[in-house]
Amino acid sequence: MLSLKYCPNEAEAEDNLHDSFIEIFTNIKNYKGNGSFEGWIKRITINKAIMRYKQSYLLTAIKDDFSQDDTVNESEIDFSLDTILSFVQELPHQYRLVFNLYELDDYTHKEIATMLSISESTSKSNLHRAKQILKSKIKSKNTFYYSKQKNGE
Amino acid sequence: MENKTEIGKVIKNKLDNLDKSPSDFVWSKIEKDLNNKRRKRILFWLIPSILTVIILSSLLYINSDFHKENIDPKTPSQKNASNSTNSKNETLPANLQKKGSDEITTVKKTKTVKLVKQSTKFVTSTNEYEEYEVVKKYKVIIKKEQITSKPIKTTAKDPNTINAKKPIVAYKKGNSKNGIAKKIAKSSFTKPKKTQKKEINKISKTTIVGNKTPKNVILEKTIAEKDTITYNNFKKDLPTSIIIAEPKMDSVAKKDSTDLKKKTTPKREYKERKYTPQTAEIEPEFTISVFYGPALFGSLNSKSMISPRMDDLSKSHPITSHYGVYVKTMFDKIGFRGGFSKINLKTSTRLNQNLIPDYTNINLKTEINVKETFGESNQVDLVQNLSYYELPLEFNYAIKKDESKIGIEAFTGFSFLILDKNKLYLKSENVSQQNIGEAKNLSGANFSYNLGLGLSYKLTERIALDINPLFKYYLSTFNKNEEAKPYSISLQSGVSYKF
């Protein structure tokens, strides 16, 4: 599930999981027992995904104003879990990484900045952009859904 | 009815339902198993280190006995001198000072460093970090000895010298508040001698309650180290290769992020990834083996082990036995082997008409009259029969270790041997065996250098047949200087069981 959230599709998630397990088995002797084993595995899997996507695209900086609304009406997001997951997976790589790390795995912007070798403000900007994209996806999906209902299909 | 919620939280709540994590029991079991493996690794080093300590301590013990025997009783002063040196202390280079026109004062310093206190203090904790403050407190004692080269008659009468025999322990200042020892920056002492003042001033961070004219001064120095160690719960354990530092760049995706068209899932492209060949996680292997085999005993230079006068006589090497148990730990291709065994050794010397030419090294049984019993025999052999209990410690290297059934190892090491049987026999065509006494020139404990080859044939995954040709060269067989260089060759054959 963790790999699915961090990768754009199932096939790449499988690859990521595979690579993560190789890393885990190779380095299991380095696990000193500090922290939970589960957390250690999780961290390796996330890092593998970061390695996979943070180098994939050359990214250019933009200045965002964060004034736009990041909230959504809960009733608007009444989709299947697969659909919600696909929204996240379809995000551009870096947006997806930042969104997952910050929102789903509770890392701070400072930590994300270190992990992805970007600045903190870039991390914040990427998160905001990710949310905007998700919001617009949800909106368009709803419009499509309601229009279908309206047309009696 | 607007019920606005932050989009990230909504998605998190929804996706949390997808998570299916194994129960806590599974994780705790995995962690327990990992701990067991860690314990195994400790055991792997424990066995050889215990054996090494035993062998080294016995070697030291034997050497010290040997040394005592060899010391000339006419030189007791040297003996005292050697005893007085403290091996644990670090001796600092001696300083030479000219005192007056003729006197030369040598200041010898001995430094001892000891960890006095170590405390760990919990500072903060977040989800990702636990921060501790670790304080280490060392005690450094520098002992100064002044040796004046010019002999002074009144040394015993001089009250200063009497005082000097009592070392003055310095007063130590420490602030234990917050658990952190303060570095002592000030030094204060009363009326030290000029010559010492110079020396003491060189040592900063010390406090000395001085004596008027101390000759031996012990300085105490307290060093407080304040280390702040940040324990990261699990980041610390991660392989460093995972996070690669890159030049910082502000970034946003090249792709048009507002493209909302549903993309079809791209075809899975096969990408050939080259993984660096990784060896599987190495677990120590424990093997126990039992062996029995023939052994031959002789001298490399063909000299007699009983008397130099028998060097030229012809010698034969009857086959004896060598048997015991080995415990072996292998860590991939490298390992250690220790155990317990008994080795019987025998050499036979064909005597001429003079029979035994020299009885210096023979403790003869009183009731034996050799000439009467064997005088008329033509073929008289003097047989020396020895047996040792052996504690070997060997280093193993696997030359061939793979999936095939045959394995080859080389091993080398040392054995500590304790003399068990020491007998001398005479035998002839008429008398099968007559015990005449024992050799006097043998030491009770012996060491041997071992070199061998281990050949094994796997019967099952756990059980294997072993044949180990082994050469042993005995290092301290005799309690006198003998020219003979005893060795033995044995062929250990047995069965081993891998745990």
Q: Which residue ranges of chain B lie beneath pLDDT 70?
A: 1-4, 39-44, 64-105, 148-282, 366-368
Q: Do A90 and B263 count as a contact with CB atoms less than 8 A apart?
A: yes
What domains does chain B contain, in order, with CATH numbers?
90-236 (no CATH), 285-498 (2.40.160.20)
The pLDDT of residue B309: 80
Query: Which of B11, B238, B244 is facing A88, going by the closest CB pair?
Result: B11
Q: If you ran DSSP here, which 8-state letter would residue B330 be given?
A: E
Using an 8 Å Cβ cutoff, are A28 and A40 in contact?
A: no
Q: Do A60 and B21 count as a contact with CB atoms less than 8 A apart?
A: no
For chain B, the maximum distance between any two Cα atoms, rounded to a whole number of angstroms, is 129
Identify the CA nearest to A34 among candidates B149, B238, B331.
B238
Q: Quick one: tokens of B157?
A: 């009468």
Q: Compute CA distances B403 → B334, B400, B414, whole Å.
A: 17, 10, 30
pLDDT digits (tens, 9 = 90+) for B134-177: 888 888 888 877 776 655 444 444 444 444 444 444 444 444 44
Query: CA nearest B242 in A: which residue?
Result: A47
Residues of A in contact with B3 (CB under 8 A): 73-75
Mean pLDDT (whole number) for A2-8: 81
Q: Compute CA distances B193 → B59, B158, B215, B484, whole Å.
A: 47, 15, 9, 62
The pLDDT of residue B258: 42
Q: Do A9 and B248 count as a contact with CB atoms less than 8 A apart?
A: no
Residues of B in contact with A47 (CB under 8 A): 238, 242-243
B250 φ, ψ (degrees, to nearest 5): -80, 140
pLDDT digits (tens, 9 = 90+) for B324-333: 999 888 888 8
Q: Which residue has the tokens 């004692």?
A: B141
Q: What secondary structure does DSSP assign to chain A, as a single string?
A: -HHHHHSSSHHHHHHHHHHHHHHHHHTGGG--SSS-HHHHHHHHHHHHHHHHHHTTS--------TTS--EEEGGGG---HHHHHHHHHTS-HHHHHHHIIIIIS---HHHHHHHHT--HHHHHHHHHHHHHHHHHHHHHHHHHHHHHHHTT-
Query: Which of A39, A51, A126 is facing B233, going by the closest CB pair?
Result: A39
Reported confidence tier of residue A74, pLDDT bands at 50, 70, 90: low
**Per residue in B314-346, is it b (16+ CB within 10 Å) or e — as a string?**
ebebeebebbbebbbbbeeeebbbbbebebbbb
Q: Do A25 and B281 count as a contact with CB atoms less than 8 A apart?
A: yes
Q: Quick one: tokens of B267?
A: 């075809």
The pLDDT of residue B371: 72
Q: Which contacts qualify for A127-131: CB closer than 8 Å, 24 or more apart?
A: A127/A95, A127/A98, A127/A99, A127/A102, A127/A103, A127/B8, A128/A64, A128/A66, A128/A68, A128/A70, A129/A64, A129/A95, A129/B252, A129/B257, A130/A91, A130/A95, A130/A96, A130/A98, A130/A99, A131/A70, A131/A99, A131/B7, A131/B8
Break chain A into its structural domains and give their ranges: 2-150
Query: Which of B10, B237, B265 is facing A40, going by the closest CB pair?
Result: B237
Q: Do A133 and B232 count as a contact with CB atoms less than 8 A apart?
A: no
Identify the CA nearest to B485 among candidates B475, B493, B494, B495.
B475
Q: Who contacts B114 (Cβ-Cβ below 8 Å, separation ≥6)?
A: B138, B139, B140, B141
The pLDDT of residue B324: 92
The pLDDT of residue B272: 54
Higher confidence at residue B67 or residue A30?
A30
Query: Which of B250, B253, B265 is facing A92, going by the closest CB pair?
Result: B253
ipTM over 0.85: no
- What is the interface size between A and B, counted as CB pairs within 8 Å? 198
Nearest-angstrom CA–CA distance, B334 and B411: 10
The pLDDT of residue B36: 74
Q: Who contacts A30 (Cβ-Cβ below 8 Å, separation ≥6)?
A: B237, B238, B239
Beta strand extents in B66-192 (DSSP E only) = 90-99, 103-125, 129-148, 168-169
Query: Which of B236, B239, B246 is facing A117, going by the closest CB pair?
Result: B246
Q: Please state the separation of Cα B372 from the chain's center in Å.
A: 55
Query: Which of A36, A43, A117 is facing B235, going by the closest CB pair?
Result: A43
Query: Is B251 buried (19+), middle (13-18) or exposed (0-12) by CB count in 10 A?
Result: buried
Nearest-angstrom CA–CA distance, B415 and B436: 30
- pTM of full prediction above 0.80: no
- Which residues sit opposite A72 in a β-bridge? B5
Q: Compute CA distances B341 → A88, B44, B321, B446, B469, whole Å.
A: 69, 21, 11, 14, 15
Q: Do B251 and A51 count as a contact with CB atoms less than 8 A apart?
A: no
Q: Do A136 and B31 count as a contact with CB atoms less than 8 A apart?
A: no
Q: Do B7 and A9 count as a contact with CB atoms less than 8 A apart?
A: no
Determine the Cα angle at B401 with ends B397 and B402, to 5°: 165
In the stretch 331-370 of chain B, residues with CB closer than 8 A to chain A read none
Q: Are strands B434-439 and B406-427 parallel, antiparallel or unpaired?
A: antiparallel
Using an 8 Å Cβ cutoff, are B273 and A52 in contact?
A: no
The pLDDT of residue B277: 52
Residues of B in contact with A81 (CB under 8 A): 14-15, 17-18
Query: Which of A74, A94, A129 is facing B5, going by the closest CB pair?
Result: A74
Please indicate if any CB of chain A lies within 8 Å of the CB of B264: no
Q: Do A74 and B10 count as a contact with CB atoms less than 8 A apart?
A: yes
Chain A interface, best mutation among B14, B233, B278, by max A CB count within 10 A: B14
Distance from CA of A134 to the nearest CA of B (A): 8
